[in-house]
Amino acid sequence: MKRVKAIYPGSFDPPTNGHLDLIERGSKIFDELVVAVLGNPEKQPLFSVADRRKMLEAMTADYDNVTVDTFDGLMVEYAMRVGARAVLRGIRAISDYEYELQMALMNRKLQPGLETVFMMPAEKYSYLSSRLVREIAQLGGAIDCLVPPLVAQKLREKIDVAHRFSAGEERPAPEAVATPRVKASTTKTRKRKS
């Protein structure tokens, strides 16, 4: 029997409990599931593609048949490159349907051999979206029941840094943010070199 590989593409900015619910469902019906993070969305993401990938890798570590990858450009071309025969998408409410139908039909036009499979997350996640999670986090609301603990922590760190800078704190050099233990003198030297 043919093994079916599927991709679950999305922005995942940030990944939520709803995404994880769908990944779990997908992992049960597909032989292989690749969670594919879009690298170059039109809008400016809150998290870098590397951060989103790391969060998803941690969230899916217990699923043997789930991997995480990133992609740019047309989703159907990426799907063909990795040998996927299906695209998994979640539908939470009727309001998702129109957009998802349009995208699925356009993707079918572009690549007739690729099937879009829709799954519904648990009802308790039907009102959950990354956009709302970002908004609630930025306004200081409780996000712990909406995203996995690791994502909640990352969101708090991100929002905290943003608040400190908007309050007038000087923004450190990018390399000092990436490696917080770097010595100030090292940072200065690097800055002068560039």
Which residues are at the interface with ligand PNS (CB under 6 A)?
Answer: 9-11, 38, 74-75, 103, 106-107
Distance of closest approach, residue 9 Cβ to ligand PNS, in angstroms: 4
Identify whether 92 is a catalytic site residue.
Answer: yes
Distance of closest approach, residue 124 Cβ to ligand PNS, in angstroms: 19
Place of tokens 């769908």: 22
Q: Of 135 and 169, which CB lies nearer to ligand PNS in the complex structure?
A: 135
**How far is the C-alpha of 97 from the C-alpha of 103, rounded, in Å?**
10
Query: Distance of CA 99 to CAs 6, 61, 89, 91, 125, Å?
Result: 20, 31, 11, 10, 19
* Coil/strand/helix, residue 175: helix
Identify whether 85 is a catalytic site residue.
Answer: no
Given the residues 2, 43, 109, 192, the one annotated as active site: 43
Given the residues 52, 53, 89, 92, the one annotated as active site: 92
Q: Of 77 and 160, which CB lies nearer to ligand PNS in the complex structure?
A: 77
**How far is the C-alpha of 70 from the C-alpha of 141, rounded, in Å?**
30
The CA angle 15-176-150, to the nearest 5 degrees, is 25
Q: Of 9 and 148, which CB lies nearer to ligand PNS in the complex structure?
A: 9
Residues with Cβ within 8 Å of residue 138, at least 6 apart in sequence: 159, 162
Distance of closest approach, residue 73 Cβ to ligand PNS, in angstroms: 7
Given the residues 11, 52, 130, 134, the one annotated as active site: 130
* Residues identified as active-site: 19, 43, 92, 130
